[in-house]
Structure 1
Amino acid sequence: PAAPPPAAAEAHASHDGAKERQILFYQHPDGGTDYSPIPKKDDKGRDYTPVYADPEPESVAAKPAGKGKILYYRNPMGLADTSPVPKKDGMGMDYVPVYDGDDDGSTLKVSIDKVQKLGVRTEAARLTTLARSIRAVGTVQVDERNLHIVTAKFEGYIERLNINQTGQAVKRGQSLMEVYSPDLVLAQQEFLVAATGAKSLETASPEARDAARSLADGALARLRNWDIPTAQIEKLRQGGQITRTLSLASPASGIVLEKRAVQGMRFMPGEMLYQIADLSTVWVVAEVFEQDLAMVALGQTAKVSFNALPGLTFTGKVTFLYPTVTEQTRTAKVRVELPNHDGHLKPALYGAVELASPVADRPVLTIPDSAVLDSGTKQAVLVERGEGRYEPREVKIGVRAGGLIQIQDGLAEGEKVVVSANFLIDAESNLRAALQSFHNH
């Protein structure tokens, strides 16, 4: 049969003839989102159903005054556009109210049994302080401020080693070795001669006394410049006995990282004999990719874990941002300072560093990022309406962090969205047809 003339799409007399009702468009006889601006038939020969601008008088009368709560208002042309308040579209047509319990073309229906079988899970949109995690790898390094080198300022020989193992713990002032030096013996002799001469010339002329004191002060300064302990100098002054060997002491408490001293060896001025480090505080130097550097700042909290120490996580602060980028890896070094009073952290230990960087200075509305259906140019979510009904709704998204995504527009706090089985619902409920206008808008 031929389609009705276009005039039929404009007006239709009501049963009581009181007024003519305006037809907005025609809908597929099975419902859904297949619309036509003119009368037509489906592939089975059935007429499309007219959709009027105002409800049929009989249906209005049949509904009680308390029809139910208005959930929202939908676009009169069936587009995926809703409003929480009454409004008009671009052609001046009123948006259609959707009541609690109503079903409309923009709402998907899935049976409760299928919801359970599909494993549909929902979560409410909530305010969250988003923090983006920056992950990097790093190695434990000695705090350079706590690194000490033991050297001698004179030539000599090692007569006895008191600390003879790498990795051995030492305390500040502890004797490391006994050394013999001809220069040291000569300096002691000069000091004793000068000190004795100055004492014997106390009654001599001022010029002689000054010369003797100058010699004694010079000999004393040489001993001090060689780091001879004050107690040993006083013992020499009081006893008048020259000491053949001198004890070299540790400048700090810590661990012997390197030992080059060997008993009986000859050493030269400035030659390194020991390297000692205080490991109560260590550095972890992390390699951060250049695209993440803007999110790293001094004082930022860092968590570090190590494969060698399962189950342990160490917390520290970012204390320094190195000023250069490694060209080959496009990374920059970031220093994290960690306490190490238990001694678990050893130099060169390899670890994973996680830096938490807030993406906003206040809580923002978020949902799990698995809830977002992305068409490439637009994003939508399925809002739960109860009893197996889901409303596809376009949203505007922001940043992603920690499995969450910021919702800038389209959702309100507390609204529940589908976070699992989204695409199974798609298959069960012909979601693609429901979102046709969303994809093509």
Structure 2
Amino acid sequence: MRTVSAVIAAAALIASAGGGFIMVRGQHQGGEAPRLALVTPAAAQANDAPIYYQDPDGKSLYSPTPKKTPDGRDYVAVRAAAEEASAPDAIPAGTADRKIKYYRNPMGLPDTSPTPKKDSMGMDYIPVYEGEDSDDGSVRLSPGKIQRTGVKSEPAARRVIHTMIRAPGTVQLDERRISVISMRAESWVQKVADVTTGARVGKGQPLMEIYSPSVASAAAEYIATITSKGTSGVAAFGRGSRQRLMNLDVPDAAIAAMEKNGIVPISIEWSAPRNGIVLERNAIEGMRAQPGDVLFRVADTSVVWALIDVAERDLGALAVGQLVVVRARSFPARTFTGTISVIYPQVNRETRTARVRIELTNPDLALLPDMYVDADIDIGSPQPVLAVPESAVLDTGSRQAVFVDKGQGRFEPRDVKLGHRGDGHVEIREGLVEGDPVVVSANFLIDAESNLKAALKGFSEAGGQP
């Protein structure tokens, strides 16, 4: 069974190269079995016998004998005359006037001959004419091979390339918009307003009432100085007393009320220093507060930060002031626009990312702290640049090249220097000019053909053959 399969595969290769086979049935000592005899196209054409059978849908499925598809359709018989007529790589007209330089192995092996010959399977060596292996490095393909392999070209043109950097991150509070309310002297909390953690407060909104012996003493001293008229040095002493109240962080509204009424208040009303949300409430009615104890913490969320982690390889394309579009995973239909304000000067050793800060306006307070976001940073140039499709570039890592279509089946490999990538295109900084047609499809097959011809040429030169 393996032998028959191997013969069928070899026969299909021979048929595609211009050879053929016919089925010869006969007797042999092991019983009846079909025998395959390889014949030349001329013999098959003289007998008008099929050289093989092919799948009716044109697939690469062959059989040396009549066969049916799984759905019951007959395989199509391919005869020698039809094979030669449909061969796309047949020698074109006019080649009779050209000089044959040498003959190469039909299976692509590094073997050439100065005279016509056959290989071990009976296949004719393929003639190579003058000009087909030019020294300019170009590759020449027949029209049939170009059509069969699907080679397509597209001119290099100028276009705007949008190169996007996408990175995840989280929303954080603006450190400059957080206020802490704490006492600067020993105090007691007399009353706390109906404000809890997470509540939104406005600037000047009462939060609590505080009694402090130090504040009461400074207030009594200040009122005594401003109500005593005619005493020498009263003005200077009054300024000192007022400054003492300010040093104790007494609100300006409370000091103004003392100056107006001339009464020493028992408790002082403390209010919110800014608009925002209450992040922390530690004040409890009747509690004793030591200097420095945090009683309230309020943050303004009208402007927030998006801290995103950008890969190390993309840091060179970032700059302060670049526009960034941020999408919150909680609001997939909305976009928030901001700018890069800070690129932190440190790379995470484990993730190889650097942190970038983006300032975002949050007018409707939809963005909340620690919310996940995704940032899109456009690092492409707004000016059109020379570009080709990414499929046109053959990248080996150390070398990038494209094939330029020179016409009449000739393709010239050309080294290029690349720039930004995006939208399926890549910028060409050196190697091409606007309008150069480059191969965008099947260029790997052309590259393989180029390597094959280079190997054949080197083998010929080393062997002293044409």
Quickly say closer, same or farther: Cα 1:239–1:219, change in 2 above 3 A: same
TM-aligned CA deviation for residue 275 of structure 1? 1.6
User: Are 2:272 and 1:250 aligned?
Assistant: yes
Per-residue CA deviation, residues 347-387 of structure 1 (Å, 9 max, x unaligned), is 122222333323x79543322223445577674458597xx
Aligned to 2:258: 236
Q: What amino acid does structure 1 have at the position aligned with 2:133?
A: M
SS at match of 1:109: helix
Aligned to 2:129: 51
Please show how residues 29-428 of structure 1 align to structure 2 within 5 Å. 38-43=114-119, 44=122, 46=124, 49=127, 51=129, 76-78=132-134, 81-82=137-138, 105-107=140-142, 109=144, 124-196=155-227, 198-199=228-229, 202=230, 209-358=231-380, 363-373=384-394, 379-381=401-403, 392-397=411-416, 398-399=418-419, 401-402=421-422, 403-407=424-428, 408-409=430-431, 412-413=434-435, 415=437, 417-419=439-441, 426=445
Q: What amino acid does structure 2 have at the position aligned with 1:404?
A: H
Q: What amino acid does structure 2 have at the position aligned with 1:337?
A: E
SS at match of 2:379: strand
Q: What amino acid does structure 2 have at the position aligned with 1:39?
A: T
The question of whether the paired residues in 1 share the 8 Å contact of 2:158 and 2:434 is answered with no
Partner of residue 436 from structure 1, selected from 435, 447, 452: 452
Gaps of 5+ in 2: 1-96, 459-466
C-alpha separation in 1, matches of 2:256 and 2:447: 95
The question of whether the paired residues in 1 share the 8 Å contact of 2:140 and 2:410 is answered with no
Per-residue CA deviation, residues 114-156 of structure 1 (Å, 9 max, x unaligned), is 78xx8x9876532234454333332211112222112222322
C-alpha separation in 2, matches of 1:384 and 1:51: 19
Per-residue CA deviation, residues 50-94 of structure 1 (Å, 9 max, x unaligned), is 736xxxxxxxxxxxxxxxxxxxxxx55256745xxxxxxxxxxxx
C-alpha separation in 2, matches of 1:300 and 1:153: 43
TM-aligned CA deviation for residue 273 of structure 1? 1.6
C-alpha separation in 2, matches of 1:47 and 1:230: 103
The share of aligned pairs that are identical, in percent, is: 30
SS at match of 1:318: strand
SS at match of 2:169: strand
C-alpha separation in 2, matches of 1:210 and 1:30: 120
The question of whether the paired residues in 1 share the 8 Å contact of 2:153 and 2:437 is answered with no
C-alpha separation in 2, matches of 1:354 and 1:152: 44
Quickly say closer, same or farther: Cα 1:164–1:210, change in 2 above 3 A: same
Q: Please, which moves more after superposition, 33-42 or 313-322?
A: 33-42
Quickly say closer, same or farther: Cα 1:144–1:390, change in 2 above 3 A: farther
Aligned to 2:39: none
**TM-score if structure 2 supplies the norm length?**
0.63
Aligned to 1:95: none
C-alpha separation in 1, matches of 2:184 and 2:126: 104
The question of whether the paired residues in 1 share the 8 Å contact of 2:106 and 2:124 is answered with no
Q: What amino acid does structure 1 have at the position aligned with 2:282?
A: R
C-alpha separation in 2, matches of 1:364 and 1:238: 71
TM-aligned CA deviation for residue 248 of structure 1? 0.7
The question of whether the paired residues in 1 share the 8 Å contact of 2:403 and 2:438 is answered with no
TM-aligned CA deviation for residue 297 of structure 1? 1.2
The question of whether the paired residues in 2 share the 8 Å contact of 1:371 and 1:418 is answered with yes
Q: Greater RCO between the two (CA within 8 Å, min separation 6)?
A: 1
TM-aligned CA deviation for residue 266 of structure 1? 1.7
Quickly say closer, same or farther: Cα 1:295–1:47, change in 2 above 3 A: closer
SS at match of 1:150: strand
Quickly say closer, same or farther: Cα 1:390–1:301, change in 2 above 3 A: farther
The question of whether the paired residues in 1 share the 8 Å contact of 2:403 and 2:414 is answered with yes
Per-residue CA deviation, residues 381-413 of structure 1 (Å, 9 max, x unaligned), is 58597xxx9765424342452232334436753
C-alpha separation in 2, matches of 1:272 and 1:432: 74
TM-aligned CA deviation for residue 187 of structure 1? 2.6
C-alpha separation in 2, matches of 1:327 and 1:371: 36
C-alpha separation in 2, matches of 1:438 and 1:342: 67
Instruction: Number of aligned residue pairs: give it.
Output: 355
The question of whether the paired residues in 1 share the 8 Å contact of 2:343 and 2:356 is answered with yes
Per-residue CA deviation, residues 285-336 of structure 1 (Å, 9 max, x unaligned), is 2223333322221112222223222222322211112223333433332211
Tell me how large the CA RMSD over aligned residues is: 4.0
C-alpha separation in 2, matches of 1:37 and 1:191: 116
The question of whether the paired residues in 2 share the 8 Å contact of 1:305 and 1:353 is answered with yes
C-alpha separation in 2, matches of 1:338 and 1:234: 37
Q: What amino acid does structure 2 have at the position aligned with 1:225?
A: N
SS at match of 1:258: strand
TM-aligned CA deviation for residue 168 of structure 1? 1.5
Quickly say closer, same or farther: Cα 1:414–1:195, change in 2 above 3 A: same
C-alpha separation in 1, matches of 2:437 and 2:364: 49
The question of whether the paired residues in 1 share the 8 Å contact of 2:140 and 2:409 is answered with no
The question of whether the paired residues in 1 share the 8 Å contact of 2:155 and 2:434 is answered with no
